[in-house]
Amino acid sequence: MAFMDQFSLILLYDVLEHVYEPLSVIRKAATLLAPGGRLIIQVPNWDSWWRKVFPRHWEGLQVPRHMSFFTPGSLQRLIEMADLKCYGILPVYDPGELSVSLCNWSVDHWRLKSRPRELPGFAGLALLAAPLVAIQVFGCGNAGEMELVAGNNEKKQ
């Protein structure tokens, strides 16, 4: 089954961190964009506060599944190297990042035999984390995930 030649929108949600050569994926996506098309990318943000607080237990780390890591600046440079224009980078509101990081730390610190997301109270912890994460995201512009919107500079025909 063949795909259409070009697309007006391509989504790469939680994809680039799983590949060794993210630039080649972005360049391929750029060739598939129609004139005026948009590429939306969501990836973990290496500059997240919670990565700094929980260096080994940060939810976005997930080694060896995550092979590539990005800051807003490094992701924007990849976009520019693929001859695309970056229209903006926004933090993604997700209280789960803090709660998973806390659960990862708890399992390791107390040597629990449970998976982090299966800990009793995980959902409640996410609810408790919500206001703090809201301040982090909406007040300070920092988050564990970021979303970038890019496109080619060509006008729609």
Query: Measured between alpha carbons, how far is 122 from 115 in angstroms, rounded to an integer?
Result: 11
H or E stretch covering 41: strand 33-44
**Backbone conformation region of residue 100, classed left if phi is above 0, alpha if psi is from -120 to 50, else beta:** alpha
For the CA atoms of 9, 25, 91, 87, the dihedral, rounded to the nearest 10 degrees, stands at: -50
**Residue at 147: amino acid letter:** E
Q: Does domain 7-151 have CATH number 2.60.40.60?
A: no
**Tens digits of pLDDT across the chain (157 residues):** 455 689 999 999 999 999 999 999 999 999 999 999 999 999 999 999 999 999 999 999 999 999 999 999 999 999 999 999 999 999 999 988 888 898 888 888 888 887 777 777 777 888 888 999 999 999 999 999 999 999 997 765 5
pTM confidence score:
0.89
Maximum C-alpha span of the chain: 60
